[in-house]
């Protein structure tokens, strides 16, 4: 089929993103076009060699371990809540839970970059570390992307 | 990451219950998603040994900010987002430690480099956003729209990132093969 190469469409085809009609048309094109066929084969090769998902057998203890951490987070917060004025409880509980979360992790696996965030002096980042405002995932992503060189 | 309507409704019930503080509901959510999240962490970190620890922290972060989840994206997408951010943090810390370049490694160990090590090293040469995009697509099987949600970018950016990632990986793989590896 005499059709122009369209590398964006070809990639969409490879990624399974084309609607059925366009998909069929691209399939026809590929049959007769060695360039496009080879491009798809190379992408497949890259994926097979470098991006194959590992075969995983998560440890049987994984879910239990997460729940133990969750329980450890909740316990002190509940105890504290008993003797504080009601209006203070939510913010303190939150601050405490975030703090306890970081303290409760073994130092070798504390990965949240609190050090950098504290040193940066940026208000949002400080708030995230101090827990007055827990990070929304998109905020964290925003920071993550901002910080790259 | 797409699931059927019944599963989605069930999941929404679990999320509401977990947000209301029911422990067993959060546990059920962890059970549903942990394999994929561990897999994602392993792929992004290029290290299976660290994957479970990282994923454990991801679920804790999710727990702490659970009330912020408003259901505008799928819960799985939201978890992917937390996992991506967390792993990027870990990778940045790791980047501060010096590692051999691929060429140094080939010279030192020749053909003995393991496939997983090669994959991790070649992926590490990609800019972060390309590495994340290609991992979400090829390893996790997310579609363009889901990737855009996880990465908070447009579908067009996703396409561009995938295209550039594939070009670079293709070149490095060829370079590595011609240098006598694997
Ligand atoms: Zn063509």
What CATH number does the domain containing B150 carry?
Answer: 1.10.10.10
Q: Which has more pLDDT, A92 or A46?
A: A46
- Mean pLDDT comparison of A74-83, B6-15, B94-103, B173-182, highest-scoring range: B6-15
In terms of domains, do B81 and B151 share one? no
Q: How many CB atoms lie within 10 A of CB B36?
A: 20
On the question of pLDDT at B52 being above 70, the answer is: yes
On the question of pLDDT at B99 being above 70, the answer is: no
Question: How many pairs of residues across A and B have Cβ atoms under 8 Å apart?
Answer: 149
Query: Quick one: pLDDT band at residue A147, thresholds 50, 70, 90?
Result: very low
What DSSP designation does A54 have?
A: P
Domains of chain B: total = 2
In terms of domains, do B73 and B141 share one? no
Q: Which has more pLDDT, B122 or A129?
A: B122
> Which of A69, A144, A145 has the highest number of chain B CBs within 10 A, making it the mutation to test binding with B?
A144
Q: Which residue has the tokens 């405002």?
A: A133
Portion of chain B with pLDDT greater than 70, in percent? 86
Question: Where do the H-state alpha helices sit in chain B?
Answer: 5-19, 23-45, 48-64, 75-95, 102-109, 115-124, 128-134, 144-151, 155-178
> pTM of the full predicted structure?
0.71
Tell me the average pLDDT across A84-106: 57
pLDDT of residue A139: 46
The range of the structural domain enclosing residue B155 comes to 125-178
B59 closest CA partner among B94, B95, B18, B20: B18
Contact A141 B139 (CB under 8 A): no
Residue A59, sorted as left (phi over 0), alpha (psi -120 to 50) or beta, turns out to be: beta
pLDDT of residue A3: 54
Tell me the average pLDDT across A65-92: 70
Query: Quick one: pLDDT band at residue B124, thresholds 50, 70, 90?
Result: confident
Q: Which two tokens stand for residue A121?
A: 């002096």
Contact A50 B173 (CB under 8 A): yes
The total number of residues shown for chain A amounts to 149
- When the pLDDT of each residue in chain A is averaged and rounded to a whole number, the result is 70
B107 found inside a domain? no
On the question of pLDDT at A143 being above 60, the answer is: no
B106 found inside a domain? no
On the question of pLDDT at B157 being above 80, the answer is: yes
In terms of domains, do B26 and B91 share one? yes
B17 found inside a domain? yes
Residue B180, sorted as left (phi over 0), alpha (psi -120 to 50) or beta, turns out to be: left
B148 found inside a domain? yes
B109 found inside a domain? no
Contact B92 A62 (CB under 8 A): no
* CATH (domain of B12): 1.10.1740.10
pLDDT of residue A99: 59
Exposed (0-12), middle (13-18) or buried (19+): which is A136, by Cβ within 10 Å? middle
In terms of domains, do B138 and B54 share one? no
Q: Which has more pLDDT, A128 or A105?
A: A105
B45 found inside a domain? yes
pLDDT of residue A75: 77
Q: What H or E segment, with its residue span, contains residue A49?
A: helix A34-50
Q: ipTM higher than 0.90? A: no
Per the CB < 8 A criterion, the answer to whether A17 and B143 are in contact is yes
On the question of pLDDT at B19 being above 90, the answer is: yes
pLDDT of residue A146: 44
B115 found inside a domain? no
A18-55 confidence digits (pLDDT tens): 999 999 999 999 999 999 999 999 999 999 988 887 77
Per the CB < 8 A criterion, the answer to whether B1 and B8 are in contact is no
On the question of pLDDT at B3 being above 70, the answer is: no
pLDDT of residue B63: 97
Residue B78, sorted as left (phi over 0), alpha (psi -120 to 50) or beta, turns out to be: alpha
Ligand 1 centroid from CA B178, angstroms: 27
Give the least confident one: A83-87, A133-137, B1-5, B22-26: A133-137
């Amino acid at each position: 089929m005499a059709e122009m190469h369209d590398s964006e469409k070809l990639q969409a085809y490879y990624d399974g993103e084309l609607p059925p009609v366009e998909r069929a048309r691209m399939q026809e094109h590929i049959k007769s076009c060695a360039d496009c066929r080879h491009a798809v084969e190379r992408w497949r090769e890259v994926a097979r060699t470098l991006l194959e998902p590992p075969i995983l057998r998560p440890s049987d203890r994984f879910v239990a371990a997460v729940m133990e951490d969750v329980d450890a987070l909740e316990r002190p917060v509940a105890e504290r809540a008993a003797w504080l004025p009601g209006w203070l409880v939510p913010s303190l509980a939150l601050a405490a839970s975030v703090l306890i979360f970081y303290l409760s992790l073994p130092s070798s696996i504390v990965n949240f970059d609190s050090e950098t965030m504290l040193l940066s002096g940026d208000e949002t980042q400080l708030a995230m570390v101090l827990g007055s405002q827990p990070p929304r995932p998109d905020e964290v992503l925003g920071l993550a992307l901002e910080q790259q060189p | 990451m797409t699931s059927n309507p019944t599963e989605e409704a069930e999941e929404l019930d679990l999320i509401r219950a977990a947000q209301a503080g029911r422990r067993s509901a959060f546990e059920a959510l962890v059970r549903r998603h942990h394999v994929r999240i561990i897999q994602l962490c392993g792929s992004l970190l290029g290290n299976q040994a660290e994957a479970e620890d990282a994923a454990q922290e991801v679920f804790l972060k999710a727990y702490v900010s659970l009330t912020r989840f408003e259901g505008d994206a799928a819960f799985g997408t939201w978890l992917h987002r937390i996992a991506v951010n967390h792993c990027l943090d870990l990778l940045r810390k790791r980047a501060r430690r010096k590692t051999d370049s691929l060429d140094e490694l080939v010279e030192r160990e020749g053909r003995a480099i393991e496939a997983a090590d090669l994959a991790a090293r070649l992926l590490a040469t990609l800019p972060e956003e390309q590495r994340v995009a290609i991992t979400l697509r090829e390893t996790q099987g997310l579609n363009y729209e889901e990737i855009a949600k996880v990465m908070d970018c447009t579908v067009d950016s996703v396409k561009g990132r995938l295209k550039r990632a594939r070009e670079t990986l293709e070149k490095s793989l060829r370079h590595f093969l011609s240098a006598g590896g694997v």
